[in-house]
Structure 1
Amino acid sequence: MTTTEHAVSSAAHGRCAGVVTAGVTGTPDVTGARGDAGAARATVQRGRPARTPGRWSR
């Protein structure tokens, strides 16, 4: 899984952060997103988490 942060210059209010989060979450391969209006940033998680072998795997 990869996490990136992006500047969002037009997200000045809480509602804007919600719109950004909803829009980004609908993008293929995005597994999570969070908009922060106060910081004018969006954090995006892409891809699936790496698989960790269980104790029974060989």
Structure 2
Amino acid sequence: MSDDKSKTGGPDRERINTNEDYEVRNWSKKLGVTPDQLKDAVKKVGPMVDDVRRELGK
């Protein structure tokens, strides 16, 4: 099931959905990493943005 792009806010901003190309692209750019680095970090620590930032040292 795709994200409902009309429902943005709290939960959407706290999680990274690596199944959505636009999220991978946007978060990779925002965090200054490659899409593969982002996906590896999410795979390792889960989808929560704060955990991914810590893993990437951002």
TM-score by length of 2: 0.27
Structure ranking higher on relative contact order (CA contacts 8 Å, 6+ apart): 1
More helix as a share of residues = 2
More strand as a share of residues = 1
